[in-house]
Amino acid sequence: MVRLEKVAPLTPEFLERLGFHWHTDSDGTSYVADEIVVVSEAEAEAYYEAANTLYDMYVEAGEYVVEKNLFHDIGIPFNLVDAVKKSWENDVHWHIYGRFDLAGGIGGAPIKLLEFNADTPTALFETAIVQWALLKANGMDEAAQFNHVYEAIRDNFRRLIVLDGNPEDFGRYYEGWKILFSAIRGSIEDENTTRLLQKIADDAGFHTDFAFADEVEFSDEEGIFFNGERFEYWFKLIPWETIAIEESDLARILTNIMENRKAIILNPAYTLMFQSKGMMKILWDLFPNHPLLLETSFEPLERKQVQKPFFGREGGGVRILDARGRELVRGEEAYGEQPSIYQAYEPLPADEEGRRYQAGLFFAYEGCGLGYRRGGEILGNMSKFVGHRID
Amino acid sequence: MKHYIKKISTYAMAGSMGALAMVAMSGCERKPAGESDAFTRASQKQGAFVVIDEVAPGRYRIAEEYPADTTRVILRKLDGTEKILSKEELDALVKEEAAKIDAGESPLTNPQLSGGGLSLGEAILASAAGAIIGSWIGSKLFNNPNYQRTRQRSYKSPSAYRRSVDSFSKAKRSPTSSTRRSTRSGFFGGGSRSGSRSTFGGFGG
């Protein structure tokens, strides 16, 4: 049973001052719960260890996909294969941050990987800032939270320069390279999540700027420009597969820019491999019966299972099936004719009212922060964010 | 084994955003007209956000320092309470310190008086906030080698100083290419997305 504690909510005015405008869902209810999950120290440690173990496994699986040329098998669009390979070859294409979605971890249930949002994870604001402010505003010990997301991402930005060296040495090696941050115009959540990342990079010591995707200029030969300035790094909160499908010219230009070493694009293209749910089948092949994994196949399983499209998001296109493949529950929207994986069904921990909790665990060089989503059996766009504290 | 709870100063946990949250929470800020949130202001960095720790009774160290739109100083006292210093308090402390500098009685400029840590006024002047609030006494300070040395020593840890230097001295910029080029832009300019919540990247099922 999930343990909860009541807290006084943060006011919409306060949240908006921070730039967190998406505090209210379309049905008028608050997106951030006025309760927090109470986690034991041992549970927090276990989450941390799980994130680090899982990331190492993803790196091994990534190597396997590249070596065996399995890009098609896990649904990587053909026009991004070169970009994925190129980014995989060199550490300067540093993975800034990702988020593991996990079942279990509280109330005695074992931690199980549901998926890895490695390319464009959101819920960053909620995890790094909002739940921290929730503890602080309620007079609780704000250090009693598994949350050093901000600091971990800041240090990871510095690793773009020092790589495996000490992030503290950033100032010694930094020569003024600039990062341009971009989101697609029209979604305040995407925009301000991107601006939050910009602020973190700013705190790290980088020169930064922000431009909507449509304002950025791209040149195969010369790189990435905004307002007449060239940028050595471009961070885009735009899924790689969206670029591949909706703006295939951009996919080609970005590949050439990488080839010509004119800019580094973040998160790197190889995070699309991690993002593909097809990777969880590869993981199961490489690490069969690993305690952090759920059985996953490209074919229907003979047990209660969840069918997920390779690049589905927000629970879209997800179906829960019984052992004979009959649909029990269906997610909000379909994702066309994408190939799917079939993953063994794992119930999410529930509270007294039967509401389910899925852990979102941020990773930036190491496991760095925990937050929860609460909803029904399939978590969609109406699920709530629930913060936590460590008992 | 690495441990998940980092014993770091609490503001570093959320960096300059944490500092901002703290000020917003205290309710003692005046919201300048026309501004809406943390990010609209982020472009105007003329101030500094400084966190000063009391390390022994009456002795202080600079814990954290970030560029900010306006200058604010938070004092963390030995008993764990926090206080945002008002503009009046800051001005009074800086004025007092200026008088000491004029009289040659400030450890900031007089090496013979150094040692035993800094008073609150000295710590403020040694911080980036001091450089801004006390700009009118700047000439007395900035060319003084002892002030520069004291400033380095006033930080809680070498990394706090390093961080401060990193965030404030982004002077080096890479050379900007202005050669003629043919570029393409306007990708994702269709404007088909709308609504406040993310269209992707959320928690999956």
Decide if B48 touches A, using CB distance below 8 A.
no
Distance CA A47, CA A49 (A): 6
Bigger pLDDT: A266 vs B105:
A266
Region B153-167: mean pLDDT is 64
CA–CA dist B186, A209 (Å, integer): 18
- Per-10-residue mean pLDDT, chain A, length 391: 96 92 92 96 94 97 97 95 94 95 95 97 94 92 90 94 90 92 94 95 92 95 94 97 93 95 96 97 98 97 95 81 91 73 96 95 95 86 91 90
> What b/e sequence results for A236-266 when a residue is b if at least 16 CB atoms lie within 10 Å of its CB, and e otherwise?
bbbbbbbbbebbeebbbbbbbbbeeebbbbb
For an interface test with B, give the residue of A17, A226, A240, A332 to mutate (most B CBs within 10 A).
A17
Residues in B closer than 8 angstroms to A206, CB to CB, are 170
Answer whether A382 touches B (CB < 8 Å): no
- Sign (positive or negative) of CA dihedral A343, A346, A347, A348: negative
Structure token digits, residue A18: 């921070």
Reading the block at residue A12, the tokens are 């919409």
Question: Which is more confidently placed, B31 or A341?
Answer: A341
Specify the DSSP class assigned to residue A202: H
**3-class SS letters over A145-167:** CCECHHHHHHHHHHHHHHCCCCH
pLDDT for the residue B1 = 37
* pLDDT number for residue A296: 98
Answer positive or negative: Cα dihedral of A9, B11, B43, A228. Answer: negative
Q: Is the pLDDT of residue B11 over 90?
A: no
- Shortest alpha-carbon distance between residue B104 and chain A (Å): 34
pTM for this structure? 0.85
Residue B82 contacts A where some CB pair is shorter than 8 Å? no
Residue A219 tokens read as 């040149």
In the prediction, which pLDDT does B170 show?
57
CA neighbours within 13 Å on the CB side: how many for A279? 28
Q: Is A333 on the interface with B (CB under 8 A)?
A: no
pLDDT value of position B32: 52
| DSSP-derived pairing of the beta strands A229-231 and A223-226 | antiparallel
- Chain A CB contacts of B170 below 8 Å: 176, 205-207
- Structural contact between residues A203 and A154, judged by C-beta atoms closer than 8 angstroms: yes
B56 touches chain A (CB under 8 A): no
CA angle A156, A60, A108 (to 5 degrees): 80
pLDDT tens across B43-76, in order?
556 677 888 889 999 899 888 777 777 788 888 8
For B1-10, B80-89, B131-140, which range has the lowest pLDDT when averaged over its residues? B1-10
Residue B28 near chain A (CB below 8 Å): no
pLDDT for res B191? 52
Alpha-carbon span A313 to A333, nearest angstrom: 10
Amino acid B11 reads Y
Q: Which of A25, A198, A250 sits opposite B187 (nearest CB)?
A: A250
Of residues B155 and A293, more confidence is placed in A293
Nearest residue, CB atoms, B13 vs list A148, A312, A378: A148
Give B2's pLDDT tier (boundaries 50, 70, 90): very low
Q: Is the pLDDT of residue B201 over 60?
A: no
Contact across the interface for A203 and B15, Cβ inside 8 Å? yes
The C-alpha torsion from A206 through A207 and A210 to A211, rounded to 10°, is: -120
- Token pair of A72 as six digits: 């098609």
For every residue of A52-98, DSSP letters joined together read HHHHHHHHHHHHHHHHHT-TTTTT--GGGHHHHHHHHH-TTS----E
> What residues 265-294 of chain A have any CB closer than 8 A to a CB of chain B?
none
List CB contacts (< 8 A) between A331 and chain B.
205
- Output the pLDDT for position B158: 61
Mean pLDDT score across all residues of chain B: 70
Residue A93 near residue A87, CB atoms below 8 Å:
yes
Position B16 pLDDT exceeds 80? no
Tell me which residue in A151, A218, A378 faces B205 most closely, judged by beta carbons.
Answer: A378
Considering only CA atoms, which of A357, A360, A381 is closest in space to residue A369?
A360
Q: Which residues of A touch B204 (CB under 8 A)?
A: 101, 114-115, 117, 308, 312-315, 318, 379
Residues in chain A with CB shorter than 8 Å from the CB of B11 are none
pLDDT at B205: 34
- Distance (Å, whole) CA A120 – CA A96: 10
Nearest to B187 among A187, A190, A214 (CB): A214
As a whole number of angstroms, the longest Cα–Cα distance in chain B is: 69
- Pick the more confident residue, B80 or B195: B80
CA distance, residue A144 to nearest chain B CA (Å): 8
Using the structure block, give the residue that is written with the tokens 């008002």. B86
What local confidence, expressed as pLDDT, does residue B87 receive? 81
* Euclidean distance between CA atoms A323 and A281, whole angstroms: 18
Q: Rounded to a whole number, what is the distance in Å from the CA of B205 to chain A's nearest CA?
A: 4
pLDDT band with cut points at 50, 70 and 90 for residue B202: very low
Q: Does B4 touch chain A (CB under 8 A)?
A: yes
Per-residue CA distances from A117 to A28, A98, A271, A362, B83 (Å): 28, 6, 9, 9, 40
ipTM of the complex in this document: 0.82
Indicate the residue of A17, A133, A217 with minimum beta-carbon distance to B184.
A217
DSSP string, chain B: ---SS----TTTTTHHHHHHHHHHHHT-----TT--SHHHHTT---EEEEEEEEEETTEEEEEEEEEESS-EEEEE-TTS-EEEEPHHHHHHHHHHHHHHHHTT--TTT-GGG--S-B-HHHHHHHSHHHHHHTGGGHHHHHT-HHHHHHHHHTBSSHHHHHHHHHHH-TT--PPPP------B--TT-S----SSS-SSSS---
**Buried b vs exposed e over A138-165: b needs ≥16 C-beta within 10 Å?**
beeebbbbbbbbbbbbbbbbbbbbbeee
Residues in chain A closer than 8 A to B178 (CB atoms)? 228
Cβ of B185 and A115 within 8 Å?
no
Which member of B13, B192, B198 has the closest CB to residue A190? B198
Residues in CB range of A350: below 8 A, 6 or more apart? A1, A2, A356, A357
Please, which residues 152-181 of chain B have a Cβ atom closer than 8 Å to chain A?
Answer: 159, 162-163, 165-167, 170, 172-174, 176-179, 181
